[in-house]
Amino acid sequence: MKTFYITTPIYYVNANPHLGHAYTTIVADAMSRFHRCLGEDTLFLTGTDEHGDKIVQAAEKRGLTPRQFVDEISGRFRDLWPRLGIANDRFVRTTDEEHKRAVQKFLQKVYDAGDIYFGEFGGHYCYGCERFYTEKELENGLCPQHLTKPDFISEKNYFFRMSKYLPWLREYILANPDFIRPERYRAEVLAMLESGALEDLCISRPKTRLTWGIELPFDSNYVCYVWFDALINYISALGWPDGPDFARYWPGEHLVAKDILKPHAVFWPTMLKSAGLPLYRHLNVHGYWLVRDTKMSKSLGNVVDPLDMGQRYGLDAFRYFLLREMHFGSDASFSEEALVGRINADLANDLGNLYSRVLTMTAKFCASRIPEGMAQTEADRAIAELCATAMENYLQLFRNARFAQALEALWELVRALNKYVDSEAPWALAKAGQQERLKCVLHILLACMRKVALCLWAVMPKAARAMLVQLGEEMPDDGTPPTRDLAAEAGSLAGLRVGAQAAPASNLFPRIDPAAQMAEQEAAVAGASKSAQKVQVKDEKRLAGAAAAPLPEISFDIFKSLDLRVGTVREAERHPKADRLLRLLIDFGEAEPRQILSGIAEYYAPEDLVGRQVCAVLNLAPRKIRGLMSCGMVLTAGEGERCRLLTPDETVPAGSPIT
């Protein structure tokens, strides 16, 4: 049996999962489901990357050990995926003992091959990237990813002779045009290889600087560089070197975002070559999701919560939007307006309307029993031929990671089926007593609708299952693929269960009314505002009482879980839709200033706050307030006219913890 092995990058656990993580993993899930429908022996791997400087720093800010911190964040990733309809087969962690052993075996193998050497090196080190940059790689002296000036560090370390394999890698990429896809990223990697900027790779960190990592098998004074460690997960999860799954599934395919192109397209192939292992089949690279043409950032308050979108608009509709809206490889803009527009146009008007019309007519004219029929006219044969062509195009495009184009090919069939309903007019055939012709038309429609549902199972598994059940299919609810031979299904309209009981109606994709939705959201905001006012009145009465009841005690562990820090206000302005709120951009020593909304507009003018230090809670769940996200809470004291910001006695570094 043919095998298919797909991996996501293992996600770095210095922050919570967001839309970027969700998109990559949903795409991998769709690819996995697609290949299961082709009857292939499929394995889908995801996981978390848990070593390095940034993990230690993030844990320290939370008052946790690195182990406690990675256990918590890794658990959030693991728990999120099923809630997004993702059915990964395995979840790897770089702190797993099996992974550690595989990394050490790999290091020893490359070391024994003479491709690791010890040397002294002075370089520009970016803590955000956790890697050294050469002068040629910097852009105006700054890290090209974070646009910050790296620290110059000189120390003794171990190096991988990557430069030895760069000419070979260039020739391999030229000889295998689909090794890296889409083409733009293949061209980008070739440009890197031809630039002369790439050198040998520093693969260790001295324990005097970092202990949270995998110890080198040939020198206990050093730990492995996080990227060299992380990339090996793709084979450690298969039990390399001796596990049967390595022989069974490797080589596989990788799916990554464009910001980690270099490690996957340069580091990893040269590492595999040095170790004498086969290269992966394809590196599939996607672009960024943007919000108002800006990359998502927690500090700007424009991070999209995938779970929230799935709950509000339907998980399968959200998954469809992600694969349909982004042309794989390019950046795409996310907005709720675009999401609603896609749901209404594609799912409600086209697909939902088709299912509703045809199933209602089947109930009315055939007592909801699937009728028998076969092509009789030129129109029948044309729609059958279009069905085969659309499926074949869908199969080819999806195999080549062109998901938006694959779905568009399928929608050519969906739209044509709606036109076929209009042109053949089953209601007119029933009125004229043309029962055989009526049954033929309905049979062709239902058969084509089944083919559409089979194709969509990869993208919208729950909705596709519901569609098939509505067509009289017997579908287990255990994630079993609806077919193991999707390619053969494209060859004919066969497969519909004649005589089976169909659903009398369908309302899988109700149309969304944006005006009604906006009114509902405004009502919710107004309700929340009234509730807050009631709470404020109660608090005022409680504080005014001489014998106010004390608040319940909390444990020290709960107090330690609060991320309390001092920050410096960089920008301040009034909220455009709320008179009592100020929008603050506050520097907490993070990569970017953090946006926090505070109800202090009646006590402070915005211009008086710029440059001032404030105290805040940072690990509150982000909240959208009147259209803007607030990522934390500024602390105040007092009430009424005496409400004042809490500030330190003297200026302290931005991000200083409050203890």
Could you tell me which residues come within 8 angstroms of residue 92 by beta carbon, excluding any fewer than 6 positions away? 10, 45, 46, 47, 48, 99, 233, 236, 237
Secondary structure letter of residue 41 according to DSSP: E
Q: Determine which one of 146, 164, 258, 262 is catalytic.
A: 146
Tokens 């080198």 locate to 216
CA-CA distances (angstroms) from residue 78 to 49, 540, 622, 659? 13, 43, 21, 31
Q: Determine which one of 51, 99, 124, 126 is catalytic.
A: 126
Q: Cα separation of 576 and 578, whole Å?
A: 6
Is residue 652 a contact partner of residue 613, using CB atoms and an 8 Å limit? yes
Tokens 């596709």 locate to 464
37 catalytic, yes or no? no
Q: Cα separation of 470 and 463, whole Å?
A: 10
Angle made by CA atoms 476, 482, 483, in degrees to the nearest 5 = 140
35 catalytic, yes or no? no
143 catalytic, yes or no? yes
Q: Determine which one of 100, 124, 286, 298 is catalytic.
A: 298
Tell the burial category of 617 from Cβ atoms under 10 Å away from its Cβ (0-12, 13-18, 19+).
middle
Q: Determine which one of 18, 54, 109, 624 is catalytic.
A: 18
Could you tell me which residues come within 8 angstroms of residue 415 by beta carbon, excluding any fewer than 6 positions away? 350
286 catalytic, yes or no? no
Q: Determine which one of 37, 61, 129, 439 is catalytic.
A: 129
Q: Determine which one of 136, 149, 156, 295 is catalytic.
A: 295
530 catalytic, yes or no? no
27 φ, ψ to 5°? -60, -45
Q: Cα separation of 25 and 29, whole Å?
A: 6
Q: Determine which one of 21, 100, 124, 273 is catalytic.
A: 21
What token pair was written down for 380? 């029948």
What token pair was written down for 447? 């058969």
Tokens 């120390």 locate to 155
Q: Determine which one of 37, 51, 143, 575 is catalytic.
A: 143
448 catalytic, yes or no? no
264 catalytic, yes or no? no
Q: Checking DSSP bridges between strand 3-7 and strand 253-257, what pairing results, if any?
A: parallel
Spatial strand order of the sheet with 332-333 comes to: 294-295, 289-291, 332-333
Is residue 577 a contact partner of residue 626, using CB atoms and an 8 Å limit? yes
21 catalytic, yes or no? yes
Is residue 361 a contact partner of residue 441, using CB atoms and an 8 Å limit? no
- Residue ranges of alpha helices (H) inside 401-434 are 403-424, 426-431
Q: Cα separation of 282 and 286, whole Å?
A: 13
Residue 145 identity (one-letter amino acid): Q
Q: Cα separation of 550 and 539, whole Å?
A: 12
Residue 108 identity (one-letter amino acid): Q
Could you tell me which residues come within 8 angstroms of residue 517 by beta carbon, excluding any fewer than 6 positions away? 340
Catalytic residues: 18, 21, 126, 129, 143, 146, 295, 298
